[in-house]
Chains A and B, each alone.
Chain A
């Protein structure tokens, strides 16, 4: 569960990289391969066709020469009469023969046979077999047809016999058969004719009209390839075999009835394609590897700061505020770390403040508890003192101890907040005691508006202020006066000002009490200020001022107006 988000994020990053790199690569490879293949195939095909056409052209020219020679001989009376046994000198016949075949005899052999198929004249050496059957093969076909008829050999591997023979019957003027002119092309003749006509890469095969081999530049193909081509043709299949990596082009030569088959190696053999595929696959593999690496590294870059942040947050949750996240980066993640560090620091400051506040409250409470030490015993003692003084007719002691007991009782009462009116009553008691002590040498006025008498204030906050005024402002002053004035400010706050007409505060003490005093100085003022602060927070507390012209001091306490119902809730 813990790892899953990271993994899925990595997987998504990886997939995105893969998609962004692999898909264009594959599309590009596919298109390039395809275009490349089409271009190459097209070029090869055009080239093959050109080669075939040039071979056809060569054959056409040769064939045309043969036909012209045969026609010349057919119309030659001297030759006709020599063949039909009518006599004539051999040299003259030869002269005619060589004249007629002048243009064509370089690439073929010309023979003249008489009507029974016996050899008579030749442009080359006399043949090994001096008779040709007239009812079989070339002579038979020549007799059946009118012009020069070409007949393929029986065995193309037999180099000694002609591969292709053309024969034309010669007839005397009266229509009686006189003999035959036979054109024979041998392996070497074809070689000479076709050499260079069809390109070095291809193999040209000449097939008869029935697709039996006549001539192959490589004689072994006549045995191995030609029968295969024929059987593929007869079974209606393509000439190409998937396995052998060759392509074939076929053209028919009209003059001889031969088929020219040009075999050329496939431009894109299985091996070539395999190589190209391998390269593509290799590129794809690199893409995948790079994608994985990029995905991993980027996700690690993302993941490491986040993991650090997470563990730091965990530590903060556990309460440790000393944790800091290392920040070496300037990007968003660096900023995140920086802010986290700031946040932890602020948290730590707040907590220290909180601890400090708590400590101060505790000290105040301890002091209060110490002040309340055994108060009941004191009250009872004071009552006893009151009765003893009444019995002994010392009314001042009786009055004093009665007031002191009332104050004491008020102090140890359990309420924390009391109405301002009650606070005023206790203040009167305290003033009475102080009048006895100071022989009534000061004037005290309390100005408390009726509508504010029920405001709740912390218990015993007026007494320390008045005591401070009596001790520091009135003591030793002729006709001293202490004035307590309660009012409501325009902000709705309760304002209690205690002023005297004494010598005033030294100037360095003026202002907000908290900022200038230290615990232990004016303990009474400090306690009041602390109580106000703790109960009502910032904005409440004491302010020290001097009267106009530096005469008299004034301590002002500001606190919110609360009444019975609000305090309870």
Chain B
């Protein structure tokens, strides 16, 4: 009997050896990986077409390898907050200024090189974030469905005539959508909850999953009007002729998106270089020429046909308050929108 056991053991050992040998695969990890000091981890909510050229140019100029993690602003900020104990990210690149402010505890202030070139209105008072581009919230409409001059103000969006015909993305998911909602509340004034209720009801239970869908919905006629950012609208208008853009007469907000260094970032030195780079004249001019965005630098060139900031009816938009009220406004929104939708 012992021999049987012995042979069984022997065969098992052989088979295991066989499997073990087979599991080995040659070719070691390549040694071209960068040193730890030549790395940077960037969380970005920008579209790939935006971050790719900037990151690539940054890599080539500095020799720093950038590892990019991209996703929606809210998810990335939550992730940064979760990783507070052992931060993985160095830089949060993108996200509205009020979203970054809301996660103030996750970031460390930094005064970037050339900060004096940035327009004062876009500077963060405490240097928590560095502005990247200015993003006015605008209204768009389908020129085949809405006559010019028909929709010019935030107040028009409360008109029952447009009920169910407004393209608006979920403010809980999209930072720009929240900025739009806050701007609208600020522009319309009056009882906040009441305004939210009326707007939510006028949506007719339809809200879009992402801000990109707003343009599509208006362009293909699913919605008559939409709320989006100036840069998205300009880019789409350049491709499609049946969309028009208006700056709401009763108040335009121009909240910058920004870049911030994560507190306790593993590669903080490189993160600073990256922030400096994002506000460098080269990148800022690229914003305008390639991404239809407004530069945050003083005296920067504007796209043809785009009004200067001081020509717009700017509404006072308190970033700190928008950040502080975020939860309350979103709760109210969810309450009324859910009520209207059901």
A binding-site residues for B, Cβ under 8 Å: 8, 11-12, 14-16, 18-19, 22-23, 26-27, 29-30, 33-34, 37, 41, 45, 133, 135-137, 140-141, 151-152, 154-155, 208-212, 231, 233-234, 236-240, 247-250, 252, 259, 266, 268, 273, 277, 280, 284
CA gap between A233 and B3 in the complex, in Å: 50
Q: What is the minimal beta-carbon distance from B46 to any residue of chain A, in angstroms?
A: 14
Chain B binding surface, main DSSP class = helix
**A136 touching B30, Cβ below 8 Å:** no
**B18 touching A29, Cβ below 8 Å:** yes
Fill in one digit per residue for B64-96: 1 if any A CB lies within 8 Å of its CB, else 0.
011100000000000000000000000000000
Fill in one digit per residue for B201-235: 1 if any A CB lies within 8 Å of its CB, else 0.
00000000000000000000000000000000000
- Residues of B1-33 at the interface with A, using a CB-CB cut-off of 8 Å, are 1, 3-4, 6-7, 10-11, 14-15, 17-19, 21-22, 25-30, 32-33
Given A211-B65, A240-B25, 8 new contacts (CB under 8 A): A19-B6, A19-B7, A34-B18, A136-B57, A154-B52, A212-B56, A247-B25, A266-B25
Task: Check: B315 CB closer than 8 A to any chain A CB.
Answer: no
26 residue pairs from A and B, CB less than 8 Å apart: A14-B4, A15-B3, A19-B6, A22-B11, A23-B10, A26-B11, A26-B14, A26-B15, A30-B18, A45-B26, A45-B27, A135-B282, A137-B57, A151-B60, A152-B56, A154-B52, A154-B56, A155-B52, A209-B60, A210-B65, A233-B33, A238-B25, A239-B27, A240-B27, A277-B18, A284-B11
**A252 touching B282, Cβ below 8 Å:** no
| Interchain CB contact (< 8 A) of A238 among B1, B3, B28 | B28
Q: Which residues of B contact A151 (CB under 8 A)?
A: 60
CA gap between A11 and B3 in the complex, in Å: 10
Query: Which residue of chain B is the closest to A33 with respect to CB atoms?
Result: B18
Task: Check: B188 CB closer than 8 A to any chain A CB.
Answer: no
Q: Which residues of A contact B30 (CB under 8 A)?
A: 233, 239, 250
Q: A135-B282, A233-B33, A273-B22 are in contact. Are A16 and B11 (CB under 8 A)?
A: no
**B27 touching A248, Cβ below 8 Å:** yes
**A18 touching B4, Cβ below 8 Å:** yes
**B56 touching A238, Cβ below 8 Å:** no
Total interface residues on B, CB under 8 Å, equals 37
| Interchain CB contact (< 8 A) of A22 among B7, B57, B286 | B7
Q: What is the minimal beta-carbon distance from A223 to any residue of chain B, in angstroms?
A: 11
Q: Which residues of B contact A211 (CB under 8 A)?
A: 32, 65
**B32 touching A234, Cβ below 8 Å:** no
Q: What is the minimal beta-carbon distance from B1 to any residue of chain A, in angstroms?
A: 7
**B14 touching A37, Cβ below 8 Å:** no
Fill in one digit per residue for B34-49: 1 if any A CB lies within 8 Å of its CB, else 0.
1000010000000000
Q: What is the minimal beta-carbon distance from A166 to any residue of chain B, in angstroms?
A: 13
Task: Check: B170 CB closer than 8 A to any chain A CB.
Answer: no
CA gap between A210 and B60 in the complex, in Å: 8
CA gap between A133 and B286 in the complex, in Å: 9
CA gap between A252 and B11 in the complex, in Å: 45
Query: Which residue of chain A is the closest to B7 with respect to CB atoms?
Result: A19
Q: Which residues of A contact B3 (CB under 8 A)?
A: 12, 15-16, 19
Q: What is the minimal beta-carbon distance from A295 to any residue of chain B, in angstroms?
A: 11
Q: Which residues of B contact A208 (CB under 8 A)?
A: 56
Task: Check: B249 CB closer than 8 A to any chain A CB.
Answer: no
CA gap between A231 and B68 in the complex, in Å: 9
CA gap between A23 and B13 in the complex, in Å: 11
Task: Check: B250 CB closer than 8 A to any chain A CB.
Answer: no
Task: Check: B59 CB closer than 8 A to any chain A CB.
Answer: yes
Query: Which residue of chain A is the closest to B5 with respect to CB atoms?
Result: A15
CA gap between A34 and B20 in the complex, in Å: 11
B binding-site residues for A, Cβ under 8 Å: 1, 3-4, 6-7, 10-11, 14-15, 17-19, 21-22, 25-30, 32-34, 39, 52-53, 56-57, 59-61, 65-67, 281-282, 286
CA gap between A30 and B17 in the complex, in Å: 8
**A238 touching B27, Cβ below 8 Å:** yes
Q: A18-B7, A250-B32 are in contact. Are A41 and B18 (CB under 8 A)?
A: no
Q: Which residues of A contact B66 (CB under 8 A)?
A: 210
Q: Which residues of A contact B39 (CB under 8 A)?
A: 234
CA gap between A27 and B11 in the complex, in Å: 9
CA gap between A15 and B5 in the complex, in Å: 9
Q: What is the minimal beta-carbon distance from B48 to any residue of chain A, in angstroms?
A: 9
Q: What is the minimal beta-carbon distance from A16 to any residue of chain B, in angstroms?
A: 7
Query: Which residue of chain B is the closest to A248 with respect to CB atoms?
Result: B27
**B53 touching A154, Cβ below 8 Å:** yes
| Interchain CB contact (< 8 A) of B22 among A23, A238, A250, A268 | A268
Query: Which residue of chain A is the closest to B289 with respect to CB atoms?
Result: A133
Q: A11-B1, A136-B282, A154-B53 are in contact. Are A231 and B29 (CB under 8 A)?
A: no
Q: What is the minimal beta-carbon distance from B49 to any residue of chain A, in angstroms?
A: 8
Query: Which residue of chain B is the closest to A272 with respect to CB atoms?
Result: B22
Q: Which residues of A contact B15 (CB under 8 A)?
A: 26
CA gap between A34 and B14 in the complex, in Å: 12
Q: What is the minimal beta-carbon distance from A497 to any residue of chain B, in angstroms?
A: 76
Q: Which residues of B contact A240 (CB under 8 A)?
A: 25, 27
Q: A26-B11, A155-B52 are in contact. Are A33 and B22 (CB under 8 A)?
A: yes
Q: Which residues of B contact A133 (CB under 8 A)?
A: 282, 286
**B14 touching A15, Cβ below 8 Å:** no
**B14 touching A30, Cβ below 8 Å:** yes
**B67 touching A231, Cβ below 8 Å:** yes
Q: What is the minimal beta-carbon distance from A495 to any residue of chain B, in angstroms?
A: 71
Query: Which residue of chain B is the closest to A229 with respect to CB atoms?
Result: B30
Q: Which residues of A contact B14 (CB under 8 A)?
A: 26-27, 30
Query: Which residue of chain A is the closest to B2 with respect to CB atoms?
Result: A15
Q: Which residues of A contact B61 (CB under 8 A)?
A: 140
Q: What is the minimal beta-carbon distance from A85 to any residue of chain B, in angstroms?
A: 25
Q: Which residues of A contact B18 (CB under 8 A)?
A: 29-30, 33-34, 277, 280
**B7 touching A23, Cβ below 8 Å:** yes
Query: Which residue of chain A is the closest to B33 with respect to CB atoms?
Result: A233
| Interchain CB contact (< 8 A) of B29 among A37, A236, A277 | A236
Q: Which residues of A contact B32 (CB under 8 A)?
A: 211, 233, 250, 252, 259
Q: What is the minimal beta-carbon distance from A32 to any residue of chain B, in angstroms?
A: 10
Q: Which residues of A contact B67 (CB under 8 A)?
A: 231, 234
**A238 touching B7, Cβ below 8 Å:** no
Q: Which residues of A contact B29 (CB under 8 A)?
A: 233, 236-239
Q: A37-B22, A135-B282, A154-B53 are in contact. Are A234 and B11 (CB under 8 A)?
A: no
CA gap between A249 and B30 in the complex, in Å: 9
CA gap between A11 and B5 in the complex, in Å: 12
Query: Which residue of chain A is the closest to B69 with respect to CB atoms?
Result: A231
Q: Which residues of B contact A41 (CB under 8 A)?
A: 26
Q: What is the minimal beta-carbon distance from B38 to any residue of chain A, in angstroms?
A: 10
Q: Which residues of B contact A234 (CB under 8 A)?
A: 33-34, 39, 65, 67
Q: Which residues of A contact B26 (CB under 8 A)?
A: 41, 45, 247
CA gap between A23 and B56 in the complex, in Å: 59
